[in-house]
Amino acid sequence: MENIPSISFYPSISISDIINGLIFISIIIGGIFALRKWNMNLKIKRAEYVKSLINEMRTNQDIVLYLFDYNTEIWYNENFHNNLAIERKIDYTLNFFSYICYLSKHKIIKTAEYNCFKYNIERILKNNQFQFYCYNLYHFSARIKQPMPFYDLFTYAKNNHYFDDDFWNNRSQKYPRYLNF
């Protein structure tokens, strides 16, 4: 018979192997701590950002939430587009909340953070004057082939069925027409 050489391994662990292993474990533990710290800093920055948005909503005089409460204020009428003071404030308010919808849609703010604004967004979307304004803007934008203003707020309203069937009809008698479309 032929002799087949056998291979034998005799593992040996040197002090340098132990040191390298400890260094590797230390790097992993350090990486985990750094990742947790980074994640915590992101949460704090996002919380600060949401707080700044809430402060903006509550303190900025150009955000006119009171016009949307209780559906009692009539602000969208034949004089609206000639009254730059009120039109700018309404547009600023709607742009602000459209931005909140944008942040939520792109997961920049989480659902719990979005909920800080949800009450106000729903008050706006349920407001008759807002619906009249959007009806005019939607059909006017379609006629001139331009994107709808307040796109993300409008899309949120559309996707959540805030607009009735008459809204999509540019000849509806339910909605007033103050823009040329």
pLDDT for 84: 93
Give one DSSP letter per residue of 107-156, joined into a string: TSS-HHHHHHHHHHHHHHHH-HHHHHHHHHHHHHHHHHT-PPTTHHHHHH
Show the low-confidence residues of the chain (pLDDT under 50).
none
Question: Which tokens is 128 given?
Answer: 């008759």
How far is residue 136's CA from residue 175's CA, in Å, rounded to a whole number? 8
pLDDT for 73: 86
Question: Which tokens is 115 given?
Answer: 């909920």
Domain boundaries of the chain, sorted by first residue: 15-59, 61-181
Question: Which tokens is 110 given?
Answer: 């989480």
CA atoms within 13 A on the CB side of 39: 6
pLDDT for 69: 85
pTM, rounded to two decimals: 0.83
pLDDT for 1: 57
142-154: b (≥16 Cβ within 10 Å) or e: eeeeeebbbebbb
For residues 129 and 75, is the Cβ–Cβ distance under 8 A? yes
pLDDT for 11: 76
Residue 60 DSSP SS3: coil
pLDDT for 2: 67
List, for residues 111-156, the tens digit of each pLDDT value: 999 999 999 999 999 999 999 999 999 999 999 999 999 999 999 9
How far is residue 154's CA from residue 98's CA, in Å, rounded to a whole number? 8
Distance of CA 97 to the CA centre of its chain: 9
